[in-house]
């Protein structure tokens, strides 16, 4: 999907009608729109967002509060009683669907009344058109069409402000990564289908009431568990929502503290951030060691129980060897063969019940051990390492426990340092700061409580599911006994099979997508980052926490510079785009804004490669574009310059360098 | 006025084709996902009638096959 052109009419500083054609050439897939700060780059990104989604998400605080969408000079010069409107039109083509044409149009109007007061329309108007055959038809389900091209939840990974990218991994990062992965891969769709199919199964089951006391009894149990399951799910949803709210309130408070005019407050907040990042790292490491201890117990535990038997077997084998019973002088099979043949090797007849036969039979008893001799010897070599393994086990466990206690010690130290930071913040003689800190601490306590509650609910849901599976099998067995319920039983079977399959697919997709995004992010990050000897890998764990590991094996996301975090975010977004399957265009405002001069080049060189199949539009300042123009030139299809004329409150779009 | 058709992600469809051997289960799962996708924005979706009808259709198809 490519944007052919963006038309702006009286939209913010774009006075009159301005048309910007974007490059639709696959080999030169980049369009660069260059302009000084304030010339209208971010507002062109806003125009795209506003047109398609009805919201301008990249407005500065000033614009959001003061400036109307309609060009202010046009509004000023509007004659009394007249109307004017701002309009943004986006024309797109879908190359993968025979160049099918789409057009989206959003406008908003205003009128100057007799007193000279401007009255704005309450809502904007939106129209979408699609090519069907040779005709262009207006689309009724506009939201559905937009969702097909680029759903609202995913758009921030396609249209974004490069300067704000480093914030992506600062706060609530695991929640953001999780949301991004779920959004781009339509995993919510699978969740909703599973939830609805489960409810349908439950209502079908209700149809078979009264068949037999046993069926009724199982039904009652299922109903009770389902009721509990539903309320647990609902409770979990509510708690998750509350948790999200609390986290965003905490983020807001912390950013207020960080932006505070008192330098001591700013310093304390920065200190807290770095302490909390270290605390998170320690807790992660403690978790990993605990897992290792459990794994060791599971592996060695059964061997510990067997140890007396193992020791006894080794003693017995050694004793037999001492007595000379192993290895045996003569093989059991050989003596047995002589007896069966009835003739000794010396020629003596052994058929009759004579002395020779008696001797051979005695020899056979002694040689019996030879049959399993090889296994006994082998066993000795298996048993001895087991004994050593058990001896080593307690040593290893002690080392691991010691590691935990030293980490716990450090954790407690950090916790008391955090407490100290909080006490100092509360003690600052500014009422607002004290109140913010008190509220923050209350919110943190609530957050901890909610995390615990959600964990308990998860366990409760898992147990209920297990019980339901068991009862469903019992019910199916009962229903199978009655011909009357053949169809109902079949329906339940089909639904259960589908539910199981969708559950498996969901889990597989979650794992696959997370792994693919992790591998791609790692690949891109390590190629883009300039400190190649510092960083080793990028990991996205099962809780969607993202970690950057340095060559010494330590987590260092918290210590990345703003530019490095921006590179990590760019890598992650490129990976998400690739995995998402959405063929939407990419628009980046100030992509190299925070990147230092010498590293802009490597990004300019590699980014087009990562985004090679997409139409890319870059809004750049002169400082960003000039150092990389030569490197980008082979991929740039169109170049523009935004020229702002303050006297006319107007931005013109000119070919670059004109 | 025309209505566009939404598509379930290629990855999900590929996974369904690879993981579900039974054709009836496969098609049934796809029909439910398509329905959910087309009604994505509806908060309180009346899904039961559609799900029950689909279940009946695919179940009868399966019984006929047997």
Predicted confidence at residue A29, as pLDDT, reads: 92
Closest CA to A541 of A280, A254, A160, A237: A280
Contacts of B4 in chain A (CB under 8 A): 130, 139, 141, 144-145, 148
**Helices within A428-485 (DSSP H only):** 431-480
Q: What is the ipTM of this complex?
A: 0.93
Q: Which is higher by pLDDT, B66 or A214?
A: A214
Q: Measured in whole angstroms, how far is the alpha carbon of residue A658 from the centre of its chain?
A: 45
The span from the CA of A536 to the CA of A525, in Å, is 10
Inter-chain residue contact B16 with A147, CB threshold 8 Å: no
Per the CB < 8 A criterion, the answer to whether A10 and A74 are in contact is: yes
Predicted confidence at residue A345, as pLDDT, reads: 79
Predicted confidence at residue A530, as pLDDT, reads: 77
Predicted confidence at residue A476, as pLDDT, reads: 81
Query: How sure is the predictor about A449, in pLDDT bands with cuts at 50, 70 and 90?
Result: very high
Predicted confidence at residue A264, as pLDDT, reads: 83
Inter-chain residue contact B47 with A200, CB threshold 8 Å: yes
Phi and psi based region of residue A590 (left: phi greater than 0; alpha: psi -120 to 50; beta: remaining): left
Predicted confidence at residue A654, as pLDDT, reads: 93
A139, A185, A189: residue with CB nearest B4: A139
Q: Is B22 on the interface with A (CB under 8 A)?
A: yes
CA-only gyration radius of chain B, Å:
14
Mutation test of the interface with chain B: which of A150, A192, A488, choosing the one with the most B Cβ atoms within 10 A?
Answer: A192
Buried b (16+ CB within 10 A) or exposed e, A373-406: beebeeeeeebeebeeebeebeeeeeeeeeebee
The span from the CA of A562 to the CA of A110, in Å, is 42
Contacts of A132 in chain B (CB under 8 A): 2
B4, B10, B55: residue with CB nearest A491: B55
Contacts of B7 in chain A (CB under 8 A): 148
Span A91-108, average pLDDT: 91
Predicted confidence at residue A505, as pLDDT, reads: 93
Query: How sure is the predictor about A34, in pLDDT bands with cuts at 50, 70 and 90?
Result: very high
What is the β-pairing status of strands A586-589 and A616-620? parallel
DSSP E strands in A46-117: the ranges are 83-94, 100-112
Mutation test of the interface with chain B: which of A485, A505, A513, A515, choosing the one with the most B Cβ atoms within 10 A?
Answer: A505
The mean of the pLDDT values for chain A is 85
Q: Which is higher by pLDDT, A186 or A40?
A: A40
Closest CA to A618 of A644, A596, A638: A638
Inter-chain residue contact B3 with A203, CB threshold 8 Å: no
Inter-chain residue contact B33 with A148, CB threshold 8 Å: no
Predicted confidence at residue A596, as pLDDT, reads: 76
Inform me whether the pLDDT recorded for A364 exceeds 80: no
Q: Is residue A520 packed enough to be buried (19+ CB in 10 Å), middle (13-18) or exposed (0-12)?
A: buried
B19, B41, B62: residue with CB nearest A501: B19
Q: What is the pLDDT of residues A11-25, one digit of tens each?
A: 999 999 999 999 999
Q: Which is higher by pLDDT, A107 or A428?
A: A107
Inform me whether the pLDDT recorded for A319 exceeds 90: no
Which has the minimum average pLDDT: A118-122, A153-157, A166-170? A166-170
**Taking CA atoms, what residue in A is nearest to B25?**
A498
The span from the CA of A259 to the CA of A265, in Å, is 9
Minimal CA separation from B56 to chain A, in Å: 7
Predicted confidence at residue A154, as pLDDT, reads: 72
Inter-chain residue contact B36 with A143, CB threshold 8 Å: no
Minimal CA separation from B66 to chain A, in Å: 11
Predicted confidence at residue A170, as pLDDT, reads: 59
Span A232-241, average pLDDT: 91
Highest mean pLDDT among A115-129, A139-153, A169-183, A329-343: A115-129
Inform me whether the pLDDT recorded for A62 exceeds 60: no
Inter-chain residue contact A494 with B24, CB threshold 8 Å: yes
Q: What is the pLDDT of residues A557-610, one digit of tens each?
A: 777 877 788 888 888 888 887 777 677 899 999 888 777 776 788 788 878 888
Predicted confidence at residue A256, as pLDDT, reads: 79
The span from the CA of A277 to the CA of A173, in Å, is 12
Kindly state the percentage of chain A with pLDDT values over 70. 94
Inform me whether the pLDDT recorded for A427 exceeds 60: yes
Inform me whether the pLDDT recorded for A470 exceeds 60: yes
Predicted confidence at residue A570, as pLDDT, reads: 84
Q: What would the 3-class secondary structure string for A30-53 be?
A: EEEEEECCCCCHHHHHHHHHHHHH
The span from the CA of A421 to the CA of A447, in Å, is 19
Query: How sure is the predictor about A172, in pLDDT bands with cuts at 50, 70 and 90?
Result: low
Kindly state the percentage of chain A with pLDDT values over 90. 32
Inter-chain residue contact B3 with A186, CB threshold 8 Å: no
Inform me whether the pLDDT recorded for A334 exceeds 70: yes
Q: Is B6 on the interface with A (CB under 8 A)?
A: yes
Q: What is the pLDDT of residues A127-142, one digit of tens each?
A: 999 988 888 889 877 8
Query: How sure is the predictor about A356, in pLDDT bands with cuts at 50, 70 and 90?
Result: confident
Span A218-228, average pLDDT: 89
Span A182-193, average pLDDT: 83
List beta partners, residue A136.
Answer: A131
Q: Is B1 on the interface with A (CB under 8 A)?
A: yes
Kindly state the percentage of chain B with pLDDT values over 70. 80
- A132 sits in which H/E element: strand A125-132
Span A107-132, average pLDDT: 91
Inter-chain residue contact A147 with B48, CB threshold 8 Å: no
**Taking CA atoms, what residue in B is nearest to A508?**
B15
CA distances for A393 relative to A275, A295, A305, A313, A403, angstroms:
34, 11, 13, 21, 15
Q: Is B25 on the interface with A (CB under 8 A)?
A: yes
Inform me whether the pLDDT recorded for A173 exceeds 70: no
3-class DSSP state for residue A90? Answer: strand
Predicted confidence at residue A174, as pLDDT, reads: 63
Minimal CA separation from B43 to chain A, in Å: 11
B5, B16, B51: residue with CB nearest A505: B16
Q: Which is higher by pLDDT, A8 or A63?
A: A8
Inform me whether the pLDDT recorded for A542 exceeds 80: no
Highest mean pLDDT among A59-73, A173-187, A368-382, A431-445: A431-445
Inform me whether the pLDDT recorded for A4 exceeds 70: yes
Inform me whether the pLDDT recorded for A392 exceeds 70: yes
- Find the angle CA(A125)-CA(A126)-CA(A128) to the nearest 5 degrees: 155
Inter-chain residue contact A144 with B4, CB threshold 8 Å: yes
Kindly state the percentage of chain B with pLDDT values over 90. 48
Query: How sure is the predictor about A648, in pLDDT bands with cuts at 50, 70 and 90?
Result: confident
Q: Is B13 on the interface with A (CB under 8 A)?
A: no
The span from the CA of A607 to the CA of A525, in Å, is 11
Q: Which is higher by pLDDT, A648 or A220?
A: A220
Predicted confidence at residue B5, as pLDDT, reads: 62
Q: What is the DSSP string of A475-530?
A: HHHHHHT-GGGHHHHHHHHHHHHHHHHHHHHHHHHHHHHHHHHHHHHHHHHHHH-S
Predicted confidence at residue A329, as pLDDT, reads: 66
**Taking CA atoms, what residue in A is nearest to B31?**
A193
Mutation test of the interface with chain B: which of A483, A498, A507, choosing the one with the most B Cβ atoms within 10 A?
Answer: A498
Which has the minimum average pLDDT: A208-217, A463-472, B30-39? A208-217
Mutation test of the interface with chain B: which of A490, A499, A580, A582, choosing the one with the most B Cβ atoms within 10 A?
Answer: A490
């Amino acid at each position: 999907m490519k944007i052919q052109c963006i038309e702006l009419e009286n939209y913010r500083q774009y006075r009159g009608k301005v048309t910007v054609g974007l490059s639709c050439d696959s080999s030169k897939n980049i369009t660069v729109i260059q302009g000084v700060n304030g010339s209208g780059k971010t507002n062109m990104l806003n125009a795209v967002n506003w047109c398609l989604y009805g919201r301008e998400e990249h407005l500065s605080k000033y614009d959001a509060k003061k400036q109307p969408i309609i060009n202010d000079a046009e509004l000023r010069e509007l004659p009394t009683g007249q109307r004017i409107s701002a309009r943004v039109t986006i024309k797109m083509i879908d190359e993968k669907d025979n160049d099918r044409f789409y057009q989206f149009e959003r406008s908003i109007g205003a009128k100057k009344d007799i007193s000279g007061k401007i009255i704005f329309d309450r809502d904007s108007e939106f129209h979408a058109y699609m090519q069907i055959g040779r005709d262009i038809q207006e689309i009724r389900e506009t939201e559905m069409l937009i969702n097909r091209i680029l759903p609202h939840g995913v758009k921030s990974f396609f249209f974004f402000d490069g300067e704000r990218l480093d914030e992506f991994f600062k706060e609530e990062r695991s929640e953001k990564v999780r949301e991004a992965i779920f959004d781009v891969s339509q995993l919510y769709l699978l969740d909703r289908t599973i939830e609805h199919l489960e409810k349908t199964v439950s209502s079908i089951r209700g149809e078979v009431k009264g068949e037999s006391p046993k069926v009724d009894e199982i039904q009652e149990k299922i109903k009770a568990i389902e009721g509990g399951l539903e309320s647990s799910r609902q409770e979990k949803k509510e708690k998750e929502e509350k948790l999200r709210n609390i986290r965003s309130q905490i983020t807001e408070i912390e950013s207020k503290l960080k932006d505070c005019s008192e330098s001591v407050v700013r310093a304390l907040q920065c200190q807290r951030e770095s302490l909390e990042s270290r605390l998170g790292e320690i807790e992660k490491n403690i978790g990993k060691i605990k897992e290792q201890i459990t794994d060791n117990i599971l592996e060695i535990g059964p061997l510990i129980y067997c140890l007396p038997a193992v020791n006894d077997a080794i003693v017995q084998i050694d004793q037999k060897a001492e007595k000379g019973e192993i290895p045996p002088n003569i093989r059991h099979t050989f003596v047995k063969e002589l007896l069966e043949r009835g003739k000794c090797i010396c020629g003596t007849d052994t058929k009759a019940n004579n002395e020779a036969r008696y001797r051979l039979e005695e020899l056979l008893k002694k040689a019996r051990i030879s049959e399993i001799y090889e296994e006994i010897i082998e066993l000795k070599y298996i048993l001895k390492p087991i004994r050593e393994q058990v001896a080593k086990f307690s040593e290893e466990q002690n080392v691991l426990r010691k590691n935990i206690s030293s980490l716990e010690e450090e954790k407690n130290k950090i916790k008391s340092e955090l407490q100290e930071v909080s006490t100092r913040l509360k003690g600052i003689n500014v009422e607002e700061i004290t109140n913010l800190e008190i509220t923050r601490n209350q919110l943190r306590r609530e957050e901890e409580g909610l995390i615990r509650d959600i964990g308990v609910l998860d366990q409760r849901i898992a147990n209920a599911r297990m019980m339901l599976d068991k009862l469903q099998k019992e019910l199916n067995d009962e229903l199978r006994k009655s011909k009357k319920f053949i169809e109902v039983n079949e329906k339940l079977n089909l639904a259960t099979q589908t539910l199981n399959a969708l559950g498996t697919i969901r889990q597989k997709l979650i794992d696959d997508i997370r792994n693919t995004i992790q591998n791609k992010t790692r690949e891109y990050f390590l190629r883009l980052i300039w400190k190649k000897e510092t960083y080793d890998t990028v990991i996205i764990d099962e809780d969607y926490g993202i970690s950057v590991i340095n060559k010494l094996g330590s987590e260092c996301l918290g210590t990345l510079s703003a530019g490095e975090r921006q590179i990590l975010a760019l890598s992650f977004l490129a990976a998400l785009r690739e995995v998402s399957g959405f063929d939407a265009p990419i628009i980046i405002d100030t992509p190299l804004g925070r990147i230092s001069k010498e590293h802009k080049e490597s990004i300019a060189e590699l980014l087009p490669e990562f985004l090679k199949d997409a139409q890319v539009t870059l809004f750049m300042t002169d400082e960003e574009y000039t150092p990389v123009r030569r490197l980008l030139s082979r991929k740039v299809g169109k170049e523009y310059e935004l020229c702002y004329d303050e006297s006319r409150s107007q931005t013109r779009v000119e070919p670059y360098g004109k | 006025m025309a209505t566009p058709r939404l598509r379930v992600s290629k990855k999900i469809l590929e996974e369904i084709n690879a993981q579900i051997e039974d054709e009836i289960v496969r098609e049934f799962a796809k029909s439910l996902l398509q329905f959910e996708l087309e009604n994505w924005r509806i908060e309180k979706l009346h899904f039961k009638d559609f799900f029950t009808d689909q279940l009946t259709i695919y179940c009868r198809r399966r019984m006929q096959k047997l």
